[in-house]
Amino acid sequence: MVTTGAGRGALRVYLGAAPGVGKTYRMLQEAHRRAERGTDIVVGIVETHGREHTAALIDGLEVIPRRTIEHRGAVLHELDVEAVLDRRPEVVAVDEFAHTNAPGSVATKRWQDVERLLDAGIDVITTVNIQHLESLNDALLRITGVQQAETIPDAVVRQADQIELVDMAPEALHRRMIHGNVYPPERVDKALANYFRIGNLTALRELALLWVADRVEEELRRYRSDRSIDRPWETRERLVVAVTGSPWSEPLIRRAARMAERSRAELIGVHVRRSDGLGSDTADDQIAKHRQLLVDLGGRYHEVVGDDPARQLTAFARGENATQLLLGTSRRGRLDELLHGSVINRAIRNSPDLDVHVISHDADGDEPPIWRSAPRTMSRHRFTARRRALAWVLAVVGPIVLTAVFVPFREDNGLPGVLPAYLLLVVIAAVTGGTGPALLASVGGFALGNVFLTRPFETFRITALSSVVGLVSFLSVALLVAVIVGRLGRQSAEAETARTQARALASASATLADTDPVPELLGQLRILLELDAMAVLDEHGETIVSSGDTSRLDDAEHIDLTDGRSLVTSRPIADAEDRLILRAFADQLTVALRRAELAGDAARAEALAEADRFRTALLRSVSHDLRTPLASITAAGSSLQQDDVEWPDDARREFLSTIVEEAGRLDRIVANLLDASRLEAGALTIDRGPVRLDEVIEAVVSGIDLRNVRDLGVHVDIDMAPVRADVGLLERALENIVANAARHSPERIEIRAGDGGDGEAYLSVVDHGPGVPPDRRPHMFDAFQQLDDRNPGVGLGLSVAQGFVTAMDGRLLVDDTEGGGLTVEIRLPLATGWTTDRATTDRATMGRATMGTTRS
């Protein structure tokens, strides 16, 4: 395809089933073919991987020079998008569609570069291997054991105007590798023994074929939709089986699975749900089981809504481009089929282009509920006992009262004026108590109106034809109204029940997001079912969680949950709707309990992983940072022990000084390791009390080696109140912070202390070193973290300091030093009930200094 630069360019992708099948070779062949036709085509970038035949195909094609990027001392070559845009060819060949660009590039991925070219109206031909598709990443990891670092979203590849599969038999690819056409000879044996095993290549090939087949299926479906083609095209066998929820559905699904397997057809199950949402409650449980069975047998499940199952089934089959429709035979009688029609016959008439299979059965059972009228059982939630009793009383007494009222006026008021009153009574009875009372009111009104209000009076004989027509019409209309109003009432009650169940299940689903949803779920279910108590028991019968008065629990209803746990109620649950809700909530409880278990397992696993990371880092530190001072001590001690060497006094003093310094360093490292272990184990003992910061600073400065620090400044507001802290932990925290500053800022360090306001004191260590980059600050207090490798240490000092300060209810803050460097500040609460009259001490030592405290 050649574009003129207007609009978006066309994308053609050569999809390789495996590395080495020849996708780049095919792309370059296409480039030569287009060049010979006069198309302005260039090579943007091609990776030959040292393959001579591929490299030879580049000759004769214009190649855009690559863009060079220097990264960590290495020179990397990438596609020069700007050069291609400036050159503006009709077509550009770009290899390795899923490639990750070098750091510093405008786009992170090469496919994003291709998008820019396409947006500029340039056609692109490119290549990608099946293992780079994002959706197949996990599957390929399980097959090959290799995690692909470079992936590309499937949608990017699917939007291509053309996708051409480059395929090769695994045996042929093996031969290519043996002949050296894929990898150098020294890499062939290793490749054949690992990634390029016959099984791996076969699996890759199947994945590529299936992926391309799905793409072709999408194009075919779009083509048929655009041209309004309803008739199935038998490009692939698809078998649709009707899932009804009847006892016969289970063997019907298994039969359909066998037929699909024999014909290598895709199995699809469909359930037609009534548009009013009503139906048999017991069937819903069966449908859930049949759905799971269908999925277990490799099929797909769908639901459609409609009141004509035959039409919905055939329309769905056509929409799926199915070739076969599988139905079960009906168990209904001839009269029922005559009244309601035959679903099977209508399905056959509606699908002349489908193969309809009707499977007979011997199982007893009724026709599935979606293939007949709504069930006639009434929900216990529809009418209360009081309403039903009132309706029956109204049906019995109402016609008598109305007749008694109209008898005195029967000479003047004819039958037409009386019958509407009887009809109104029928409607009231139907609305109040349902069809039964309404039918009784209809018959009663007909009989009493005939006897007492129709001439001749007080006899069943009727002489006037108009009276016969009126009474018969009244009885017919009254019966019809009774049935319709009763049915509407039943449907309204069932719809309300369905809404209640939906609200309850939605609330239960929302509750699952809580940290501990089990008690809330149990409480909702108890209130919804109007129970006195409910409880979840473990495998030993002990209560895990309960709701309500547990003394009322009689183990009346018992539902297994998971791992031996069970749900018990205070009374039996007999109503079908209540049992459906109970089962649904039981499933939610199972999910919640399982999630709680998984959360506990995850927490324990995280704790173990953290401990393992801590131990690993500890061992790494021991391997270097502990052995370094030990080696220095050993070397100095061994030198002093030599009898054949007469060491001068200066050398002996240097050896002894080395031993003392390295022993002190070793002591600090071990102390930090022990402190970190105590923090990790939560075994830190804290003895809080009033602590003066000037004394803490004096103890720290005089206790550690700061000889490498040329300028040490100390500013302490001695008039401040003491802080509430553990003196030992505070000294250790400050010692680690000062030692860290001394390693990174030997030029100048300042230690400041004073009143920080809001009942807090501050103790800050200010250095003027290189500071810490913002992206490293979130991790600077992690254990075993160091800014660089030039300074010795385990990387525990700041981590231990933060742990100690936090344990004393303090805060450790970090900020930039004005002019460069890092300021680490400890914030601690002031000790209450302490006053003093002290002056401010400001000591600054130039060069080498030690600190004392001045008190007034």
* Residue that the structure tokens 């095209």 belong to: 233
Of the ranges 12-21, 318-327, 625-634, 736-745, the best mean pLDDT one: 12-21
CA 14 from centre of chain: 33
Q: Which tokens in the block code for residue 832?
A: 């209450």
For 92, residues 6+ apart whose C-beta sits below 8 A from its C-beta are 41, 42, 43, 44, 64, 84, 117, 122, 123, 124, 125
Beta strands in 478-563 (DSSP E): 533-537, 543-548, 558-560
Instruction: Name the percent of the chain lying above pLDDT 70.
Output: 75
- Tokens standing for 97? 């569609």
- Asked whether the beta carbons of 285 and 587 are under 8 A apart, the reply is no
**What pLDDT shows up at residue 837?**
41
Q: How confident is the model over 199-208, as pLDDT tens digits?
A: 788 888 888 8
Instruction: Tell me the pLDDT tens digit for each residue of 721-775.
Output: 888 988 888 888 888 888 888 877 788 889 999 888 888 899 999 988 888 877 6
For 302-324, the pLDDT digits (tens) are 887 777 788 888 888 877 778 88
Angle at 756 between CA 751 and CA 758, to 5 degrees: 160
Q: How far apart are the first and last CA of the chain?
A: 93
**Pure H helices in 622-681:** 627-641, 649-681
Asked if 529 and 578 touch (Cβ cutoff 8 Å), the reply is yes
Burial class of residue 296, CB neighbours in 10 A (0-12, 13-18, 19+) = exposed
- The amino acid that residue 408 corresponds to is P
pLDDT over 90, % of the chain: 11
β-strand partners of 164: 14
Cα separations in angstroms, 12 against 48, 63, 86, 124, 787:
19, 19, 22, 6, 48
CB 203 within 8 A of CB 16: no
Single out the residue of 365, 351, 346 nearest to residue 244, CA to CA: 365
Contact 300, 265 (CB under 8 A): no
Question: Both tokens of residue 203?
Answer: 């699996």
Pairing status of strand 266-273 against strand 238-242: parallel
The torsion region of residue 80 among left (phi > 0), alpha (psi -120 to 50) and beta comes to: beta
| 213-232 per-position pLDDT tens digit | 777 766 666 666 666 665 65
Handedness of CA 257, 259, 261, 266 (dihedral sign): negative
Contact 3, 122 (CB under 8 A): yes
Backbone region of residue 38 per phi and psi (left: phi > 0; alpha: psi in -120 to 50; beta: other values): left
- Of 124-138, 158-172, 253-267, 330-344, which gets the smallest average pLDDT? 330-344
Q: Are 756 and 780 in contact (CB under 8 A)?
A: no
Q: What are phi and psi of 823, to 5 degrees?
A: -115, 120
CA–CA distance, 652 with 636 (Å, rounded to integer):
9
Q: Give the mean model confidence (pLDDT) for residues 531-554.
A: 75
277/273 Cα distance (integer angstroms): 7
408-413: Cβ within 8 A, 24+ apart: 410/452, 410/453, 410/457
Question: CA-CA-CA-CA torsion for 409, 415, 421, 426, nearest 10 degrees?
Answer: 140
At residue 235, does pLDDT exceed 70? no
Contact status, residue 168 vs residue 208, Cβ threshold 8 Å: no
Buried b (16+ CB within 10 A) or exposed e, 830-842: bbeeeeeebeebe
Let me know how long the chain is. Answer: 856
3-state SS string for 191-233: HHHCCCCHHHHHHHHHHHHHHHHHHHHHHHHHHHHHCCCCCCC
Residues 397-450 pLDDT 10s: 988 988 888 888 777 666 777 888 888 888 888 888 878 888 888 888 888 888
Per residue in 705-731, pLDDT (tens digit) is: 777 788 888 888 867 788 898 888 888
Q: Which residues contact 442 (CB under 8 A, 6 or more apart)?
A: 422, 426, 475, 478, 479, 482
Find the mean pLDDT for residues 385-390.
81
* Cα 517 from Cα 537, distance rounded (Å): 16
Residue 301, Cβ neighbours under 10 Å: how many? Answer: 17
Tokens standing for 604?
Answer: 């324990």
Place of tokens 């690559």: 66
Task: Give residue for tokens 């009763």.
Answer: 486
CB atoms < 10 A from the CB of 648, how many?
A: 8
- The structure tokens listed for 13 are 């992708």
Q: Summarize the chain as % helix, strand, coil (round to 5).
A: 50, 15, 35
Q: Which residue has the tokens 């041209």?
A: 227
Question: Residue 163: left (phi > 0), alpha (psi -120 to 50), or beta?
Answer: beta
Alpha helices (runs of H) in 94-197, residue ranges in sequence order = 110-119, 137-144, 154-158, 170-178, 185-193
Query: What is the C-alpha to C-alpha distance for residues 74 and 199, in angstroms, rounded to an integer?
Result: 37
Higher-pLDDT residue of 351, 70 = 70
Looking at residue 273, what is its pLDDT? 80
Q: Which of 740, 738, 786 is nearest to 617 (CA)?
A: 786
801, 782 Cβ separation under 8 angstroms: no
Decide if 676 contacts 732 (C-beta within 8 A).
no
Which pair of structure tokens corresponds to residue 683? Answer: 């075994």
Alpha carbons 512 and 554: distance in angstroms, whole number? 28
Checking phi first, is residue 20 left (phi over 0); if not, alpha (psi -120 to 50) or beta? left
Mean pLDDT across the stretch 359-385?
46
- Tokens 């939560």 — which residue? 682
Across the beta sheet with 533-537, the strand order is 543-548, 533-537, 566-569, 558-560
603 has pLDDT over 60: yes
Q: What is the mean pLDDT of the chain?
A: 76
At residue 115 the predicted structure's pLDDT band, cuts being 50, 70 and 90, is very high
Q: Which of 379, 345, 660, 370 is nearest to 494 (CA)?
A: 379
Task: Express each pLDDT in 31-70 by its tens digit.
Answer: 999 999 999 999 999 988 888 888 889 998 999 999 988 8
At residue 372, the pLDDT reads 36
The answer on pLDDT for 548 being more than 90 is no
> Strand 162-166 to strand 11-16: parallel, antiparallel, or no bridges (unpaired)?
parallel
Cα 35-40-46 angle, rounded to 5 deg: 70
Average pLDDT over residues 153-179: 85
User: Helices 435-453 and 415-433: crossing angle, nearest 10°?
Assistant: 160
Taking the C-alpha atoms of residue 468 and residue 304, their distance in angstroms, rounded to an integer, is: 49
Among 224-233, 262-271, 698-707, which is the least confidently predicted range?
224-233
pLDDT score at 370: 37
The per-residue pLDDT for range 781-809, each reduced to its tens digit, is 665 555 554 444 445 667 778 888 888 88
Average pLDDT, stretch 343-350?
Answer: 81
pLDDT at 451 over 80: yes
Q: Please give the Cα distance from 83 to 260 (Å, whole number).
A: 55
